[in-house]
Structure formats: C-alpha cells, structure tokens
Structure 1
Amino acid sequence: MQKPIQTKIENRIGFITLNRPEKRNALSPELIEELVNAFTAFEHDPAVKVVVLKAEGKAFCAGADLDYIQQMQHFSYEENLEDSNRLKTLFTQIYEFPKVVIAQVQGHALAGGCGLVTVCDFAFAAFEVLFGYTEVKIGFIPALVSVFLTEQIGQAKTSVLLLSGELISSSKSSELGLITEVVELEFLEKRTLEFAEKLVSDNSTFSMQETKRLLRSLGKAERHQALDLAAEANAKARGHGDCVKGISAFLAKTKPSW
C-alpha cells in the first residue's frame, strides 16, 4: 500500500513529500496524522536543520479529501470539532516549528492546501500555480487559516482573499506576501534546494531557531485562543444548511444556488 507521505534526509535537509497524486494530495485524516508524525520526527532529529515540504503529481494539495467530505455530512458537532482540531494541530506545529520550513509548490494549492503553504516560513512556487482559499464557495469557512494569514499579511488583504474565495496567480500571491518567490517550473526544485542549502551552510542553527521562536512568541497566547475559537466556528459551520448544500453540490459537480 502506498504511503501518504515520503520522507528522506540529505545534507541536513529533511524532505517531506505529499504522496497522494491520484487524489491531488488531498488532506485525509491519515495524511494529516502522517504529516504530524514526520514533522515531530524531524524536530527531534539533529541531522535535520531545514525542512522542505513538497508534493508528487500535478497538484500540491487540493484541500480536503472528497471521500472524507462525503463522510463529514453525517458527523456530529463533536466529530467535526475533533476533525478541526486535527488540522489545527498540524498548522500550529508547522507555524511554530523550531526549524525553518520551506514549501516547494509545483501545482495548485487550494483551501486547506493553501493553508499548508501559508504556515511555512518560505514558499517557492511555479508560475502556473494557482492559490485560493475557496471555502466560501461551498459553504465552509476558512476559519483556521484566517488566524495565520491575518498575522502574516494583515487583515485587509486577508479579508479580500477569504471573502472572495477567488483563485490568484503565483505572481499575485508573491505581491501579497503569501509566497517568497515565483520560479519557472523546470527550475523550481533546483531553486528551492539552493535556498535550503544556503540556509544550512550560511546560517547558525541556534540563531534561526531562536529568531523563529521570538517571532512566533509575539501574540502567541492570543493566536492560540483565536485558533480554539476558529476550530469551534469551523465545527459549527459544518452543520449549517449552506455547508450541507455546498458539499452536496460540490460532490455532484454542480453549482449551488445561494
């Protein structure tokens, strides 16, 4: 059976690769759990100084898994809250990870997949990649990512992205501060690796770790409180009629009438 992620360590760089290309690397509970385990292992491995998060296939990550979305229609509030907290744990782990995390984005990153990119320290993306927090299109709310995104690019820009749900190009994402650099697809892996290797060779492990710790300590209590509220809001929203309608339309590949 194919593992949902692959990991390897080379030259002090830990690589975590999303490995569900046939599902557009959608976020299933199993994939989220494997990501948490991989980051935990790399956190405590002295052989890893920098982490690169990448993906197999045409998409980086399409958001929630379709099969799982179908199951969610029958979840209780408690089950939805547990599910929201699972993703909250992963996003918080990456955002506050003591080592630098670089996203290598070769394909579209949507909804929760775009959230994955958001919580990384750096992101290099191919020109043809589209980004989008598309939850409002199907009656979801982009609750968890709103906390991280507001902290990173400000409330005004976050409001535009989350309320519109529109897809934006890599170039536009770079202008907004969502990603670090746009690269031709054929050079994406090379450029990401060069950047990671430069951090490994030129920067102090201690200094990067302490700098990130200080940055993430700013507003940390408020951020964690906001994330708890966001997880609850997410769970409640899933029981709303709009969410039920949106999921049904999404699964049927039709456009819901709002």
Structure 2
Amino acid sequence: MEFNLLQYEVASRVATVTLNRPDKRNALNGQLVAELRQAFARAAAADDVKVIVLKGNGEAFCAGADLEYLQQLQQNTYDENLTDSRELMQLFREIYQLDKVVIAQVEGHAVAGGCGLVTVCDLSYAVPEAMMGYTEVKIGFIPALVAVFLVRKIGEGRARELLLTGRLVTAEKAARDGLITAVVPAGEMKEYVAKVAASLCNDASGNSLKVTKKLIGTVLDLPIQDGLEHAAELNAATRGHEDCKRGIAAFLHKEKLVW
C-alpha cells in the first residue's frame, strides 16, 4: 500500500501518520481522505502498533477542504455529495472508535475539517501559535459531521459558540474549552508527544486502553442505569483478561511491569 498525500511510519510501537500536502496547507480532498482511512486501517490491524500520532508537514496542520475539491462538490448531484460526505463521516468515526489511542500533534492552524480531525482524536496537543475553529458557516456550508463529536466532547454551549460564529480561537482557548488536551511550546512539541506516546505504550495495558476508549465513546448514549450495567459487565470481563491478571500480580509483588 503506497501513499501519495501522506507519510506513514512505525517506530517503537507508535505509528505516525503525517499529512503531506504542505503546498496546499494539508487541505483535505477525496484522495487524502481515502488515504487517511487506509493508513488508520493499517495501524489498527498492525500488531506492532499501540499508539497513533497524527500530524502535518509544513506550516498548517490542516486547512480544511481543498479549494479545487470545493469547486468540484458544487458540480456534484445530491447522491454524489452524500457518498462523498459519508467518506469523511467514516474517517471521523473510524478514528473516534479505533481500538488504539490516537494523538493529534497540532503544529499549525487546524481549520474546518482539519479541526474536525483534531476533535475526534483522543488526545491533542497544539503549539501556542495554532488557531483552530470551524469556519463552514462563513462560506454557506455547515459543520455537520464534526458537530456530532464536538457536542459530546465540549458540551452544547461551547459547541454552539464555535460552530455558529465560525471564528478561529487560540490554542489556549481551545484548551480551556476542552477541545484540545494542552498547549505545548513549538520547540518542545516533538519530544513531548513522543513521551506521551511512549508512556501509553509502556505504562498501560493495550486491552485496558481499548476497553476504556470504547466505554467513553458509548456511555453517553445510554441511560445512567444502562450505562452503569454496561460498565459493570466490562469491569467483570476485564478482570478475567490476561492483562489484568499480569497487572495485579505485578502490583502485589511490587514489580515494574512494562506493557
């Protein structure tokens, strides 16, 4: 599997997916969305991958939809646009529901669909200079797909502010609102994200990360009693997993366990 618009590499159980259209500010088009889906599918299936880092080459993380791509969409029929929209929908859903932790390393502006990519990642770190937001309403479009995830992530009130105004916000505000995990100075970003990824790889059970991510993604859809019952069932099932047995044994014997 070859990629033309992104780079894919694996080292120390971390797969790094890098958007590689710097001359287009890593803007999304049909081909890039398809390649992203392929890259995440490869990482999901790889036994030597535990964590995935998503980043971009050049000055921008991702500037949203490519201009030529937007022009083409205007010529599409409703059915063609629905099919195209579902491709991006699938990408967002696959990242959100992936069994492995996905980290966004945001070293430039993340706008519209680019900010959507940040939204569906599990953890996200941005440089202070990065501006983020969903500008769709300013061009007569709507931030439809990302709204489903953003409301879950930061709540209705903050989501309304970002989605209805269409304005870009600083990384500091994005962190305060819960859109991103933290702001990290540009000179420290590479090392910082590498340390987070290494900690996830070495200090946490892969099964525990998978089940916890799944629980977080489903519990809001359930009434509280159903959510608690689902959590109790997952709790019981996890206790019988080999990872839990190893982890408890190491804890009781005061042994350092490297996952």
TM-score (norm 1): 0.84
Aligned to 1:227: none
Aligned to 1:90: 91
Structure 1 residues 213 and 9, CA gap change in structure 2 (3 angstroms):
same
Aligned to 1:59: 60
Contact (CA 8 Å) 2:3, 2:35: kept in 1 or not? no
Give me the whole-angstrom Cα distance separating, in 2, the residues matched to 1:179 and 1:49. Answer: 21
Structure 1 residue 189: Cα displacement: 1.0
Q: Where do 1:44-55 residues align within 5 Å? A: 44-55=45-56
Secondary structure at the aligned position of 2:103 is classed as strand
Give me the whole-angstrom Cα distance separating, in 2, the residues matched to 1:95 and 1:2. Answer: 22
Structure 1 residue 72: Cα displacement: 1.2
Structure 1 residue 33: Cα displacement: 0.4
1:213 partner amino acid: K
2:137 partner amino acid: V
Instruction: Please tell me the root mean square deviation across aligned C-alpha atoms, in Å.
Output: 1.5
**Higher Cα Rg: structure 1 or 2?**
2
Structure 1 residue 218: Cα displacement: 2.4
Give me the whole-angstrom Cα distance separating, in 2, the residues matched to 1:216 and 1:144. Answer: 16
Secondary structure at the aligned position of 1:60 is classed as coil
Aligned to 1:24: 25
Give me the whole-angstrom Cα distance separating, in 2, the residues matched to 1:2 and 1:59. Answer: 20
1:52 partner amino acid: V
Give me the whole-angstrom Cα distance separating, in 2, the residues matched to 1:2 and 1:99. Answer: 21
Give me the whole-angstrom Cα distance separating, in 2, the residues matched to 1:162 and 1:35. Answer: 24
Aligned to 1:212: 213
Structure 1 residue 197 and structure 2 residue 187: aligned?
Answer: no
State the identity %.
Answer: 49
Q: Where do 1:1-258 residues align within 5 Å? A: 3-219=4-220
C-alpha offsets along residues 25-74 of structure 1, whole Å, 9 cap, x if unaligned?
A: 01110000000001101111110000000110000000001111111111
Structure 1 residue 217: Cα displacement: 2.1
Give me the whole-angstrom Cα distance separating, in 2, the residues matched to 1:78 and 1:181. Answer: 40
Structure 1 residue 220: Cα displacement: 5.5
Secondary structure at the aligned position of 1:128 is classed as coil
Structure 1 residue 2: Cα displacement: 7.8
2:205 partner amino acid: S
1:34 partner amino acid: E
Give me the whole-angstrom Cα distance separating, in 1, the residues matched to 2:40 and 2:219. Answer: 22
Structure 1 residue 197: Cα displacement: 0.6
Q: Find runs of 4+ consecutive structure 1 residues off by over 6 angstroms.
A: none
Give me the whole-angstrom Cα distance separating, in 2, the residues matched to 1:220 and 1:63. Answer: 29
Give me the whole-angstrom Cα distance separating, in 2, the residues matched to 1:153 and 1:6. Answer: 30
2:55 partner amino acid: K
Structure 2 segments unaligned to the other structure (5+ residues): 223-259
2:14 partner amino acid: I
1:182 partner amino acid: V
Give me the whole-angstrom Cα distance separating, in 2, the residues matched to 1:111 and 1:71. Answer: 18
Give me the whole-angstrom Cα distance separating, in 1, the residues matched to 2:21 and 2:154. Answer: 30
1:174 partner amino acid: A
Contact (CA 8 Å) 2:21, 2:27: kept in 1 or not? yes
TM-score (norm 2): 0.83
Paired residue total = 222
Give me the whole-angstrom Cα distance separating, in 2, the residues matched to 1:153 and 1:71. Answer: 33
C-alpha offsets along residues 85-136 of structure 1, whole Å, 9 cap, x if unaligned?
A: 0100000000011100000000000000000000000001000000010001
Give me the whole-angstrom Cα distance separating, in 1, the residues matched to 2:49 and 2:129. Answer: 31
Structure 1 segments unaligned to the other structure (5+ residues): 222-258
Give me the whole-angstrom Cα distance separating, in 1, the residues matched to 2:9 and 2:221. Answer: 31
Contact (CA 8 Å) 2:119, 2:150: kept in 1 or not? yes
